[in-house]
Structure 1
Amino acid sequence: MVKVGLTGGIGAGKSAVSALLASYGAVVVDADLIAREVVAPGTAGLAAVVAEFGDGVLLPDGALDRPALGRIVFADPDRLAALNAIVHPLVGRRSAELEAGAGPGDVVLHDVPLLAENGLAALYDLVVVVDAAEETRLRRLVTLRGMPEDEARARMAAQASREDRLAVADLVIDNDGPLDRLEPQVAALWQELRRRAAS
């Protein structure tokens, strides 16, 4: 088994790379998806978030109001740290459970948005960074996700710098261009990961 940490700044295209690797057969442990699971209605995680941030972060149906919470935490590093202190341990436990279910020759891909920020590189056999220029990322967030430019810039600023992310990379996928340039790079990456998993 080879344990891979996949990361990239918001708008870099990490999800596209993750989806391609999953289609090849990687066992994907998606931290974002798990982070949603651990604060779903009725969970201890959601109760802890409400205790910390108040009822204003809930929707009328009792689910987490992500945009409302985002406005609080992305504007204040201390509040972001408080949220991370609740969510990260829960995500870590669930990720470990999923990884334990993988076979000896599998490629286990941990999709971890904040890998560089949280100093997690040492947890993986290999770190793959999906990289794109800041202007490209900003354009994608505004045009593809419909995010207001100021919010997009705030989210980008709350993450590690491009240089800090690249500093922890063992391998880099350049996703500054169109999807047809991405696919051959991911196919080559898959061959390398399979080779490492088998050795």
Structure 2
Amino acid sequence: MSNLIIGLTGGIGSGKTTVTNMFQALDIDIIDADIIAREVVAPNSYALEKIVEHFGNNYLTEQGQLNRAKLRSTIFSSQDAKQWLNNLLHPLIRDEIIKQTKAANSNYCILVAPLLVENNLLHLVDRVLVIDVEECTQLKRTLARDTSSADEIKAIMASQASREQRLAKADDIINNDGDNLAQVQQQVSELNTTYHTLAAKL
């Protein structure tokens, strides 16, 4: 069981996956809040049944999966719908995060949560690691990898915590603004040593 839980976060396009993969290569257990969020609404799940009950059958695809695009546009345009969905999903996601962090075997584990600050999950972690980049870098990277337009990406960025809000919560920061992966790897390596040391003291 991991004694130390590190919350890894950052805005869209900041390079969370790149950094997470580097920690994983060091045999650190990773708990991914996005994967958990998808699993709690899997076909035949309690949450999916409740969503269909509340919003209707047209929120299912022909394969019986959640129609994410339709749900996303509904909650983007209705605060009440968003609140209802959050009230349903957040406790389920939180319980599963706690279960998975307790089951982790590495000295410390990492909870990857893009919305760690926004969804108030800070109490689930011991330290916060922010992957920090300039906002123009976020936009450029996301445009390069996604089909979304610049306006859509800016809207996502505006809905997330600001760079300043994230950094205000950070215990540790990895600067990922350049294209130098060796520098990022070096920062990961140093933090890995720090985290093992901290875990040993618990």
Q: With the length of structure 1 as denominator, give the TM-score of the two structures.
A: 0.91
5 Å-filtered alignment, 1:164-183, equals 164-178=165-179, 179-183=181-185
| Aligned twin of 2:71 | 69
Match for residue 35 of structure 1? 37
Partner of 1:198: 200
- Residues 30-67 of structure 1: per-residue CA shift (max 9 Å, x gap): 10001011101110111122233333332111111222
Classify the secondary structure of the residue corresponding to 2:174: strand
Aligned-partner Cα distance in 2 for 1:24–1:116: 26
Q: For 1:1-199, what aligned pairs fall within 5 Å after superposition?
A: 1-103=3-105, 106-178=107-179, 179-199=181-201
8 Å CA contact retained: 2:115, 2:160: yes
More moved, 38-47 vs 146-155: 146-155
- The number of residues matched between the two structures is 198
**Aligned equivalents of 1:48, 1:42: Cα separation in 2:** 10
Secondary structure of the 1:5 match is strand
Verify the 8 A CA contact 2:7 2:116 in the aligned structure 1: yes
Unpaired segments of 5 or more residues in structure 1? none
SS in 2 for 1:118: coil
Q: C-alpha root-mean-square deviation of aligned residues, in Å?
A: 1.7
Which segments of 5 or more consecutive residues in structure 2 lack a partner in the other structure?
none
Deviation at 1:75, TM superposition (A): 4.2
Cα gap change, 1:162 to 1:90, in 2 (>3 Å): same
TM-score by length of 2: 0.90
Q: Structure 1 vs Structure 2: percent identity of aligned residues?
A: 39
Over residues 93-130 of structure 1, what are the superposed CA-to-partner deviations in whole Å (9 max), with x where a residue is unaligned?
11121122234x62111111111112332332111011
